[in-house]
A = this chain, B = another copy of it.
C-alpha cells in the first residue's frame, strides 16, 4: 500500500467538477478544533455566504457534513412523518430518490411523472395538490440526470397556494443559475459542493425557512435521522445560546467550501451566471457543428449540464473511454432510461471556461472519428469560438 497519486483529469461530467488550485490549497491548511473560536468565525462566514448565495436571508443555512444526498434526506426526514402526504415530482433519477426517501420517512406519496428530459409540468402538480392535503411538494430544480431546469418559482407558488411546504433540490443549480429561496418563497433548498461551487464532494449546504422550522417544531415524532435533525444541527451551528456539541464538523472540507465561496463572490454572482450561460451556448454551437443533437428543448436546458444524444451506431461507452484515455477528459454517461442514449457534459464552476469548451469539442471530434463518424471539427470549433470571443 503506497501513497495515492491521482491521474490528472479534466472533469466535465455531472460532478465533481474541476477544483481550482486555491480551493485545493485551502483543503490542506492545518486542521483546528471544531470548538476553536477561530472555527466559530469560519462557520459564521460560511452561513452568511450560503444565505447570500441561496438568497435566503431569513432561512437557517448550514452545510451538512455529507454529500448532496444528505440535503435531500434532511429535507424529507425533517418535514415528513407518518400520517403526512407528499407530492413528489419525478422527471429523472433524483425525483425517484425523493420518492424512496419519503416512503422511509413514513409518509404517503403521490408522484407526478414527467418524461426524462422534460421539466416538471405545473398543471399536473396543481392537479395532484388539489384536495390532497399534502404537507410537502418536492421537486428537482436542476435534474442532473437529464440536464433539465424546472420552473421553481411557479412550483413553489403552487405549493404555497395549496398550503404545502416546498422542497427544492438545487444540487446542480446552485452557483450555475440563480437560486432564489426568498423570491420563490421556498421552504427547504439544498445543494452540493462538487457541482457549480467547484469544491470537492462531501458537503451539502441547506436552507430551511422559518415556516419549515415551525412545522418541524410541531412534529409528533422526532425526525428519523439524528445526524440531520435540523434542530440539533442548528444548535451546533450556533444561535443566540451558543453552540451545543452534535457531530464533529469536517474542518478541512469546510476550509475548501469557504474558499470556493470567496472565489465565487470575488468574481460576482451575476458574472458567474453569465459565464456559465456563455460557455453553454458555445458548447452547444460546437456540438451541433459536430452533427450532434441535444436531448432537452432550448428553453429548459441547464447551462451547466448538457445532455447530448448518442448518434445511431456509435458505442457511447467507447467514446467516453476514448476521451478519458486520450484526452484525460471525463464526461458522464446516461442513467436509468437514458443509459446508453446520452452523454452528460458538465460546464460547472471551474470547469466552465473557454479552454474546457474547446478541449471537449476537440476530444469528442477525435473520439467520433475513431468510431468512423466523420465530422467537421474545424467548423465546430469555429462556431464555438465565434461565441466565446463575441
Residues of A whose CB lies within 8 Å of any CB of B are: 1-9, 11, 13, 15-16, 18-19, 22, 24-36, 38-39, 42, 45, 48-49, 65-70, 73, 77, 93, 97, 100-101, 103-105, 192, 194, 200-202, 222-227, 245-253, 255-256, 258-259, 261-262, 265, 324, 330, 335
Residues of chain B within 8 A (CB-CB) of A28 are 24-25, 27-28
Within the oligomer, what is the number of copies of this chain? 2
Residues of chain B within 8 A (CB-CB) of A8 are 30
Closest chain B residue, CB of each to CB of A192? B248
Q: Give, as a whole number of angstroms, the nearest-CB distance from A70 to chain B.
A: 6
**Are A253 and B7 touching (Cβ within 8 A)?**
no
Among B1, B5, B24, B33, the residue within 8 A (CB) of A265 is B1
Q: Give, as a whole number of angstroms, the nearest-CB distance from A57 to chain B.
A: 16
Instruction: List, sorted by A's number, 24 A–B pairs whose CB atoms are closer than 8 Å.
Output: A4-B42, A6-B29, A6-B30, A6-B39, A7-B36, A9-B30, A9-B32, A9-B36, A16-B34, A16-B251, A19-B30, A24-B31, A24-B252, A27-B27, A28-B28, A31-B200, A33-B330, A65-B66, A66-B70, A67-B247, A73-B225, A100-B226, A200-B253, A202-B253
Residues of chain B within 8 A (CB-CB) of A15 are 248
Majority SS at the chain A contact face: loop
Closest chain B residue, CB of each to CB of A69? B247
A19-B30, A248-B68, A253-B250 are contacts. A262–B3 as well, Cβ < 8 Å?
A: yes
